Amino acid sequence: MFNLVLFGPPGSGKGTQSENIVNTYNLQHISTGDLLRDEVSRHTPLGTEAKKYMDQGLLVPDEVVIGMISGKIDDTPDARGFVFDGFPRTRPQAEALDKLLEFKQTQIHLVLALDVPEPELVKRLLGRGATSGRSDDNEEIIAKRIKEYHSKTQPVADYYNEHGKLENIVGDHSIPDTFKTLTKHINKYLLPVT
């Protein structure tokens, strides 16, 4: 089994690149953003709680997100591996994921961190907001998300760096060029199936 974390600030392209990666390597995609948006659209109690945070550009509480992930991993016991997209986003989430995977006798093998300058992030998120109907479609919420990223999520990169698993990737090249760079790192662990 091969498990990858795709890491980066809001709008760095985690969702975009995850799609390409799971198709190329036949991995399971776990996006906490997608899972939360699904809960919101179905008006579940979890979704109603999560929406309060998401609409303000804040992270959803750790216990909510960690509970969701555990069930999702159990759904596909025969997976070739997982791409964790947008998770972990806090150090407690990273520690919980390590414990969960250890219990399942596996681990995170590689963390690829997309590095994109802030003005480009804002531009992309405004562009996505114009068509997606997502709540982070204005500069005030985007600024809050980036602040939240620096205070709570950036320490996750330090955590994986301490464990020798982090690779930094230039993320402001074109989508295909960025993908090519990502595959160079993944190919050291796993061969493409397509």
Q: Judged by CB under 6 A, which of 1, 20, 29, 33 binds ligand B4P?
A: 33
Q: Which of 5, 11, 110, 142 binds ligand B4P (CB under 6 A)?
A: 11
Q: How far is the CB of 59 from ligand B4P (least distance, A)?
A: 4
Q: Which is nearer to ligand B4P, 66 or 190 (CB)?
A: 66
Return d(Cα 152, Cα 91) in angstroms, integer. Answer: 8
Number of residues that bind ligand B4P (CB under 6 A): 27
DSSP secondary structure string for all residues of 115-153: E--HHHHHHHHHHHHHHH--S--SHHHHHHHHHHIIIII
Find the binder of ligand B4P among 43, 174, 188, 191 (CB under 6 A): 174
List, in order, residues 6 or more apart from 82 with CB less than 8 Å away. 3, 4, 27, 28, 29, 30, 73
List 104, 128, 144, 152, catalytic entry: 128
- Interface of this chain with ligand B4P, residues 49 to 108, rule: CB under 6 A: 53-54, 59-60, 65, 86-87, 89, 93
Q: Which of residues 109-168 bind ligand B4P (CB under 6 A)?
A: 124, 127-128, 145
Is residue 160 a contact partner of residue 107, using CB atoms and an 8 Å limit?
no
The Cβ-side half-sphere exposure at 111, using a 13 Å CA radius, reads 25
147 among known catalytic residues: no
For tokens 């295909």, what's the residue?
A: 176
Q: Binding of ligand B4P at residue 22 (CB under 6 A)?
A: no
CA–CA gap between residue 46 and residue 3 (Å, rounded): 26
User: Which pair of structure tokens corresponds to residue 87?
Assistant: 């998770």
Residues annotated as catalytic are 14, 89, 128, 134, 145
Q: Which residues bind ligand B4P (CB under 6 A)?
A: 8, 10-16, 32-33, 36, 53-54, 59-60, 65, 86-87, 89, 93, 124, 127-128, 145, 174-175, 178
